[in-house]
Amino acid sequence: MHPHRWLVRARHYYSFGSSLHAVLEKVYERGDAGIDAIELDAVYDESWIDAGYSSSESMQEAYGEGKELIEAFLDQERQVPKFGKTIAVEKLLKKPYDQFTLVGRIDRLSRADDGAMEIIDYKTRRGSVSDEEVRRDIAMSIY
């Protein structure tokens, strides 16, 4: 066993967030054209992680809530003008420094025709993010 790895018990909130990220990764890997409802159901089912829930009932409740969140997000995406073309999904980044290596993952990266870049960071169970939250959030301040 690697000396810096720990075994962690599954947590429902990790499973929930990972499931939704996996769905969006598969949707955007197909391109910006979108996905129909039947394909979305199949992608959602194959991406769902049921580990860490206290009961089958709580897992089913989260499953339904997650599906509603994904559908609402994709509906909203269809209604707003596109910033640009998706160029990366779940992109791993590494930046070495003298004492450490900074490692992170960008949920989605888009490029506009003028070369401007947009970083999309998915959040589950949260409304909009305030300017103060952005300033205090380490990951967002690095972007």
pTM: 0.76
Most confident range, picked from 34-38, 100-104, 128-132, 135-139:
100-104
For 25-36, give one letter per residue: b (16+ CB within 10 A) or e.
Answer: bbbbeeeeeebe
Q: Provide the percentage of residues in the chain whose pLDDT is more than 90.
A: 41
pLDDT of res. 11: 87
Q: What is the pLDDT of residues 53-111, one digit of tens each?
A: 999 999 999 999 999 999 988 888 888 777 888 899 889 989 999 999 989 888 899 99
Distance CA 116, CA 2 (A): 41
Check whether 23 has a pLDDT greater than 70.
yes
Most confident residue range from 7-21, 24-38, 54-68, 70-84 = 54-68
Beta strands at 85-96 and 117-120: parallel, antiparallel or unpaired: unpaired
